[in-house]
Chains A and B, each alone.
Chain A
Amino acid sequence: MEIGALGKSYCDGETIIGQGEAGDCMYVIQEGKAEVIRESEGKEVRLSTLGKGDVFGEMSLFMREARSATVRAIGDTRVLTIDKKTFMRRVNEDPSFAFRILQEMACRIRKLDSDLVDLITRP
Chain B
Amino acid sequence: MNDNSELKLNNGSRIGVIGGGPAGSFFSHFLLRQARLMDMDLHVDIYESRDFLSAGPKGCNMCAGVISESLVQALSIEGINLPTSVVQRGIDSYVMHSETETVTIRTPSEEMRIATVHRGSGPKGIRETRWKSFDRHLLEIAIETGANLVSRRVKGISLSDGKPLICAKEGEAQVYDLLVGATGINSPSLSLFENLGIGYKRPSTRKTSITELPLGLDAVSEKFGSSMHVFLLDLEGLDFAAFIPKGEFVTMCLIGDGVSRETVDSFLDHPSVKHLLPNARSAAAEACHCSPNISLGDAANPFGDRVVMIGDSGVSRLNKDGVGSAYRTAKAAAKTAIFEGISSDDFRKHYWPICRKISRDNRLGSLIFTTVNMMKGAQFSVRGSLRMCQKEQLKQGGQRRMSMVFWDMFTGSAPYREVFMRTLHPFFFSRLAWEVAMGFRFAGDGGSMVRRELWK
* Chain A interface residues (CB < 8 Å from chain B): 1-8, 28, 30, 52-53, 55, 80-83, 86-87, 89-90, 93-94, 96-97, 99-101
Q: Tell me the bound Cα distance from A30 to B79 in angstroms.
A: 10
Residues of the B chain whose Cβ atoms lie less than 8 Å from the Cβ of A81: 73, 109, 111, 113
Q: By the criterion CB–CB under 8 Å, are A100 and B78 in contact?
A: yes
Kindly specify which of B56-64, B87-95, B394-402, B441-449 makes contact with the partner chain: B87-95
Q: By the criterion CB–CB under 8 Å, are A4 and B89 in contact?
A: yes
Q: Tell me the bound Cα distance from A5 to B113 in angstroms.
A: 9
From 325 to 345 in chain B, residues with beta carbon under 8 angstroms from any chain A beta carbon are 328, 331-332, 335
Q: By the criterion CB–CB under 8 Å, are A7 and B112 in contact?
A: yes
Q: Does B273 lie at the interface of the complex (its beta carbon under 8 Å from any beta carbon of A)?
A: no
Tell which of B37, B131, B332, B354 touches A4, judged by Cβ atoms closer than 8 Å: B131
Q: Does B77 lie at the interface of the complex (its beta carbon under 8 Å from any beta carbon of A)?
A: yes
Q: Does B357 lie at the interface of the complex (its beta carbon under 8 Å from any beta carbon of A)?
A: yes
Q: By the criterion CB–CB under 8 Å, are A6 and B90 in contact?
A: yes
Sample of 13 A–B contacts (CB below 8 Å): A4-B83, A4-B90, A6-B82, A7-B111, A7-B112, A28-B77, A80-B111, A80-B113, A81-B109, A83-B109, A86-B70, A94-B331, A96-B331
Q: By the criterion CB–CB under 8 Å, are B81 and A30 in contact?
A: yes
Chain B 76-116: CB-based contact to A (< 8 A → 1; otherwise 0): 11110111111111100000000000000000011111010
* Chain B interface residues (CB < 8 Å from chain A): 34, 37, 69-70, 72-74, 76-79, 81-90, 109-113, 115, 131, 221, 226, 247, 328, 331-332, 335, 354, 357, 413, 415
* Chain B residue, CB-CB nearest to A2: B84
Q: By the criterion CB–CB under 8 Å, are B354 and A5 in contact?
A: no
Q: List 7 A-B pairs, minimum CB-CB distance, nearest first.
A: A4-B87, A4-B84, A28-B76, A2-B84, A8-B111, A82-B73, A6-B90
Residues of the B chain whose Cβ atoms lie less than 8 Å from the Cβ of A96: 34, 331, 335
Q: By the criterion CB–CB under 8 Å, are A55 and B77 in contact?
A: yes
Q: By the criterion CB–CB under 8 Å, are B247 and A3 in contact?
A: yes
Q: By the criterion CB–CB under 8 Å, are B70 and A6 in contact?
A: no
Residues of the A chain whose Cβ atoms lie less than 8 Å from the Cβ of B226: 3
Q: By the criterion CB–CB under 8 Å, are A93 and B77 in contact?
A: no
Q: By the criterion CB–CB under 8 Å, are A6 and B74 in contact?
A: no
